[in-house]
Structure 1
């Protein structure tokens, strides 16, 4: 039994034992991909931890998530659902390490590594004051994904001759009096007599570089990871800032034929059969009863499916070789092309639809009014869909962009993994395809092209800055008139359907098909359970209701509470990557937008007030 807690007696609370074992905070499986993935910090009570790499996870009982198209594009064998905590097991499956290391005591104000407080039984408590410790509010990161504690000692002793951390022999103290909300009220001092300094100026882009502080190339989320050589300038960040961790995620819809029938069955055993001859495959199928619950298929069909998947895998390796040699292979475009083709074709629900993951049908009523009034060529109702989202890596300081190379993405394990953490989403949606002829005539207008060019110029300038002097070619910006139009249309539809469909905006998601030869937008539910397919969004695809929705959306888009500033802005949003778009009219929760709320412009929908730029849906 642990000794009584004197702090509890002092506060008049009943004395109790200090637990010797604690279960850290529990999060949902999906959050270990989207919010608290590898390399992200998670706050648990008054402590802070860093989620460790997947090579330290116990995935022995973690379910497989099968999505062949996505796994081939990402070069992994499969995906796994992050392991769930099990109270009957010694491990939680997903491990974490304490970070930041520096803690402070609000009573004695000491600022030092956690272990120096000699906390009893590992609790975050000062052994002298019995007060709860507070993790450091500040960390240091670079755009190559490295992460370290903020160098408090060097910050205090700047301008002195002391060279090594702690060389003066003094102890650091941390004081935040709360007199103001600025960093000027956060002060650090050293017992050696060095002048007390505030944290003011620590967040300047060159603040740490000017002090000669370099990135140490540390990756504390990877166990026993050696420090990497890094020439990037480190930046000061708030521990809870979103800039500390941006997930690099990829997703794919499960579409026929991979989502059903013998392809779906074969995908689960493909890794065991991909290098075997037909005779072995037939024997394996029979011995392992692979088709026990699917008597409609034969071993020969499994053989043919394995051979087809093997050919696709070879093609993928060839694409990778071309990309390494300097060619351009866009995995996203390839994935989206297959989805777009499937969305444009009916896939009605079968009578034996137990394993059917993709049901896509046109509405019963004609859509003639939508064609005439809005230029909508096709409407498809997705009564059932499945999406797999996988975490490939992450960024720090700056959001992911097409210009990112491997060095700018944090590794999720020491060795290249053959699986990635992922989760699946079941839902429903509505797909709209615009009239290609009308769209092409609109996007060739000089005024339309000029507005898109302003966004594209800013976007490519940003991409060029991120690439730096590496010699790597600058990716072409997506900010073509077609893309900006479809992206803006998706946002106004989500805003309207969040009011009429019974889902909050954060539960809806966009998927844009704007590459050459594609002109569609999919709005679908983004919940990870069956609640995502209750019919609320599919009902919005009824032609009469959709016509009313588009009319209401365009009317709402004509006015913003920030007008005329919003509509007349030369550039808006982060890095000037929007035009007429702000929080009052177009921006969505970050979970809903696949492009980080950039490349938006209301004028593409309804035109500009001076009529110099026509809107696709009328001026």
Structure 2
């Protein structure tokens, strides 16, 4: 419900197809509430709700609507609106031949998030408009498959009015629908009876199961002190009142005393004042950076500072959701690798919230796609999930990193990735004058590729499935770190195995093995000599045989990777940050 089948997505259930309705139609009577103060303030909501997992007797649940509405019958080949098949009550079958109906494979969508049924009549009559634009030819559409090939050429549309039979070949061309003078009607079926919006975008033909028919826009945050205390959730509904008492401690004391009678925990005025001060500090740090993603950058910087500072286990209780300690043994064995300050994150909570979604365009960055709303009216909550697990945090030596990044050969490889990424962003941008900047530089690509190499190594040596681990990068001019944490709360969650990999002796062994493994790829020399691989050529020496991961584990959709920056190339080993350690 957050990453795969969220609001606006199309879900296939047996032989039927449905679209998940907006959150304003959900019945959330018994759904648990999730609080993550920092993320909620950035997203402008008060709380998050866990999508309900309902059974037949539950009062709560997520609503869906039938979509697409055009169906075909494999028996009589009729192609029409589902309401015209005269299906028996409670069944989705043809009233004449009693065959189960097949939802349309094709839909029409635009980058603004609008979606509707494919215009079959206009497509079939594109050269024979006998009935005008309204499609009143008096005939009935038919759909059949010739079975000669698996291509669109074998899907044939005809009409009983006598027009020649046409195939679906060419329907996926970028201008196929606009050439027919088919325009976006601005429909939002996931919002029920929402009025159609004016839309100037050109619609595209998509398969209803296509990955670009629905792309989630998810925002995440770690629970860090002082907000990681699970008991602060009892204050979340009262922050508006508490902020007004900032200058009146006596009034706040009375309010908290009354609140104590309703809860099992007593809050002191000093603790609440400290939380308000932390909130004010977070607001100030966000205002210092006026970039388009300043709020999210500020979240990462706060997490980075807290991961460096740590939080010992002996200073917390079982209610605290963040425990981060340095390893027991000396980290001197990691010095040759340029790795400084490893931290063992023994307790970790991550909240992932579905903010919006997009269609047609893939959200490579936060600003290059239109964000379709999850509800018709603004809501004070968003659907979210929480993962409680563990992780290992690493930093790279800042001075050594700066010296390495000054190399002209290193800069040239990073600039090549950056140029390819910027070109792809320009091609995908809706407004050429407002193209988002690429985060790719030598520092970021190095940290990203190192995270992938470690996850692959731990999946082989530590017994973890690669999809159960997840990276979290901290890479800009003031940060040079990475966090590898558990991405799921199932059996591969918080059993202590990942934290054990962060002890310096184990970590040194894993680093060496991962870097040695990265020196050779079964696709070499093509892989290491690549001038651009992946979507848009935004990778260099990176492929599925060496450093790519399951996409659920990667923050950048397996882009902006180059293992040559780790270990160098056969022609120039010095461009690898770790080439001296490997010698």
TM-score scaled by length of structure 2: 0.94
Q: Determine if the alignment matches structure 1 residue 293 to structure 2 residue 264.
A: yes
Alignment of 1:22-421 (within 5 A): 32-89=1-58, 92-161=60-129, 162-260=131-229, 263-271=232-240, 273-275=242-244, 278=248, 281-289=252-260, 292-295=263-266, 297-298=267-268, 300-301=269-270, 303-305=272-274, 307-308=276-277, 311=280, 328=292, 330-350=294-314, 353-372=317-336, 374-402=337-365, 404=367, 408-421=370-383
Q: CA deviation at 1:529?
A: 4.9
> Counterpart of 1:6?
none
Q: CA deviation at 1:465?
A: 2.8
Q: CA deviation at 1:235?
A: 1.1
Q: CA deviation at 1:404?
A: 2.8
Task: Out of 577-586 and 158-167, give the one that drifted further.
Answer: 158-167
Q: CA deviation at 1:68?
A: 0.7
Q: CA deviation at 1:92?
A: 4.4
> Counterpart of 2:404?
442
Total equivalences in the alignment: 577
| Per-residue deviation, residues 568-609 of structure 1 (Å, max 9, x unmatched) | 111110111111111111211111001111101111111111
Q: Determine if the alignment matches structure 1 residue 539 to structure 2 residue 500.
A: yes
CA gap of 1:37–1:190, structure 2 versus 1, over 3 A, is same
Q: CA deviation at 1:187?
A: 0.9
Q: CA deviation at 1:301?
A: 3.0
Q: Determine if the alignment matches structure 1 residue 553 to structure 2 residue 514.
A: yes
CA gap of 1:316–1:414, structure 2 versus 1, over 3 A, is farther
Task: Out of 121-130 and 310-319, give the one that drifted further.
Answer: 310-319
Q: CA deviation at 1:215?
A: 1.4
CA gap of 1:570–1:303, structure 2 versus 1, over 3 A, is closer
Alignment of 1:478-557 (within 5 A): 478-529=439-490, 531-557=492-518
1: CA distance, partners of 2:138 / 2:391 = 64
> Counterpart of 1:12?
none
> Counterpart of 1:29?
none
Within the candidate set 510, 533, 537, 1:576 is matched to 537
CA gap of 1:183–1:262, structure 2 versus 1, over 3 A, is closer
2:31–2:60 contact (8 Å) kept in structure 1: no
2: CA distance, partners of 1:79 / 1:526 = 19
Partner of 1:425: helix, strand, or coil? strand
1:388–1:424 contact (8 Å) kept in structure 2: yes
1: CA distance, partners of 2:231 / 2:190 = 40
Partner of 1:286: helix, strand, or coil? helix
CA gap of 1:614–1:531, structure 2 versus 1, over 3 A, is closer
Partner of 1:567: helix, strand, or coil? coil
2: CA distance, partners of 1:495 / 1:51 = 35
| Per-residue deviation, residues 228-262 of structure 1 (Å, max 9, x unmatched) | 11111111111111111110000000011111277
1: CA distance, partners of 2:201 / 2:472 = 34
2:79–2:143 contact (8 Å) kept in structure 1: yes
Return 5+ residue gaps in structure 1 as ranges: 1-31
Q: CA deviation at 1:308?
A: 3.2
2:226–2:275 contact (8 Å) kept in structure 1: no
Q: CA deviation at 1:426?
A: 0.5
Partner of 1:532: helix, strand, or coil? coil
| Per-residue deviation, residues 353-374 of structure 1 (Å, max 9, x unmatched) | 21011111111111112112x1
Q: CA deviation at 1:266?
A: 2.8
Q: CA deviation at 1:287?
A: 2.6
TM-score scaled by length of structure 1: 0.89
Q: CA deviation at 1:276?
A: 5.6
2: CA distance, partners of 1:306 / 1:578 = 43
Output the aligned Cα RMSD: 2.2
CA gap of 1:479–1:81, structure 2 versus 1, over 3 A, is same
1:403–1:463 contact (8 Å) kept in structure 2: no
1: CA distance, partners of 2:366 / 2:174 = 21
CA gap of 1:274–1:613, structure 2 versus 1, over 3 A, is same
2: CA distance, partners of 1:83 / 1:572 = 41
Partner of 1:155: helix, strand, or coil? helix
Q: CA deviation at 1:146?
A: 1.0
Within the candidate set 405, 408, 415, 1:453 is matched to 415
Q: CA deviation at 1:208?
A: 1.4
